[in-house]
Amino acid sequence: MGGPKRRDDPQSAVRKNRQFWEKGSEEYERKHRHVLGGTRAKSWGLWRVLERELQILGEVRNQDVLELGCGAARWSLALEAEGARVVGFDLSRAHLDHARKERARLRSHLPLVQGSADRLPFGGARFDVVFCDWGAMTFCDPYRTVPECARVLRPGGRLVFSTASPVRHLTYDPRSDRQTRTLRHDYFGQHRLEFPDTVDYQLTYGAWVQLFVENGFSIERLHETRPAPGARTPYLSSNDNAWGRRWPLECIWRVRKGAGPHVPKRAHVRKWAR
Ligand SMILES: C[S@@+](CC[C@H](N)C(=O)[O-])C[C@H]1O[C@@H](n2cnc3c(N)ncnc32)[C@H](O)[C@@H]1O
């Protein structure tokens, strides 16, 4: 069975994703804003699990925080309101326009920066926390983003992000756009996942662990979201909700940069197939 296509041209992925998010931002907001804002601004993933319950990002007061792929910046604005110094960062001008509207509504001066997470326009050791909720860590090559996160984090800083689990793609049927009960794709060799409109990235669990460790991170948590029975989300069909009760569809990583002298190279890219 065919696995993901193996191509290694990260800039073509960034271009394709930028095009998608510029065009798709309005529709994304229309479909999802009701589960993203207000009391759910600080919640995670497809089922919007509250940070208050998970406690995976942790305390941010008086800390420098970067959100990678902030969309309309609801998370960033909520953290700023708690006393963090936050920068919202996103590839898409259209998404950042939504963020500007949210910022104006809340009379905030949150800095918003446009760019791609595989080449961050920030100096080294600038942040205490880098995080995202299905943001750039899903859509950008981890062999580029993880070293970049390590570079901009201070020693002891944390990287926290939600994304698909490495199991999700294995049974995905692109024709129906649904999870199935049949193994359709290889587990080994996961990297660039080419979809009609976007490029996603995924690694095996072993490759994620190796990448974190090589970039000076230690792994503190891997939360595998399991939805409550009957839980619903506008991101998934009821079939995929039921699938997510049985197998891990999404995960949230928390890794911490060591206090040691490890200095990652800028955009240090490794050959991904191993
Ligand atoms: C699924 S949306 C999630 C946005 C936000 N976290 C939310 O929940 O509303 C993914 C976001 O990642 C951004 N993104 C995709 N690729 C990126 C990249 N290479 N660098 C920075 N942001 C990126 C998109 O523009 C989009 O805003």
**pLDDT of 207 over the 60 cut:** yes
pLDDT of residue 263: 52
Residue ranges lining ligand 1, Cβ < 6 Å:
14, 17, 21, 36, 68-69, 71-72, 90-92, 95, 116-117, 132-136, 139-140
**High-pLDDT (> 70) share of the chain, %:** 92
Side chain identity at residue 34, one-letter code: H
Q: Summarize the confidence of residues 40-56 as an average pLDDT.
A: 96
pLDDT of residue 271: 41
Q: What is the mean pLDDT of the chain?
A: 92
pLDDT of residue 9: 86
Contacts of 33 (CB under 8 A, 6+ apart): 72
Q: Cα–Cα distances in Å, from 118 out to 62, 203, 220, 230?
A: 26, 16, 23, 37
**pLDDT of 104 over the 80 cut:** yes
Mutational pocket test of ligand 1: of 47, 93, 134, 149, the residue with most ligand atoms within 8 Å of the beta carbon: 134
Side chain identity at residue 147, one-letter code: P
pLDDT of residue 8: 66
**Tens digits of per-residue pLDDT, 55-93?**
999 999 999 999 999 999 999 999 999 999 999 999 999
Count CB atoms within 10 A of the CB of residue 89. 27
**pLDDT of 205 over the 70 cut:** yes
Edge to edge, the sheet with strand 112-114 lists 112-114, 85-90, 64-68, 127-133, 153-164, 250-257, 217-224
pLDDT of residue 260: 66
What pTM was estimated for this model as a whole?
0.93
Burial group, residue 237, by CB count within 10 angstroms (0-12, 13-18, 19+): middle
CA of 260 to the centre of ligand 1 (A): 31
Q: What domains does the chain contain, in order, with CATH numbers?
A: 10-257 (3.40.50.150)
pLDDT of residue 1: 34
Q: Summarize the confidence of residues 135-155 as an average pLDDT.
A: 98
**Tens digits of per-residue pLDDT, 151-169?**
999 999 999 999 999 999 9
pLDDT of residue 238: 87
CA of 189 to the centre of ligand 1 (A): 24
**pLDDT of 18 over the 60 cut:** yes
pLDDT of residue 2: 37
Q: Summarize the confidence of residues 197-215 as an average pLDDT.
A: 98
pLDDT of residue 41: 94
**pLDDT of 201 over the 80 cut:** yes
Of all protein residues, the one whose alpha carbon is nearest to atom 5 of ligand 1 is 71
Q: Which ligand 1 atom is the nearest neighbour of the CA of 14?
A: 19
**Tens digits of per-residue pLDDT, 217-272?**
999 999 999 999 988 888 998 889 999 999 999 999 999 999 865 555 544 444 43
Q: Summarize the confidence of residues 99-104 as an average pLDDT.
A: 98
**High-pLDDT (> 90) share of the chain, %:** 84
The two tokens of residue 6 are: 């193996």
pLDDT of residue 232: 86
**pLDDT of 273 over the 80 cut:** no
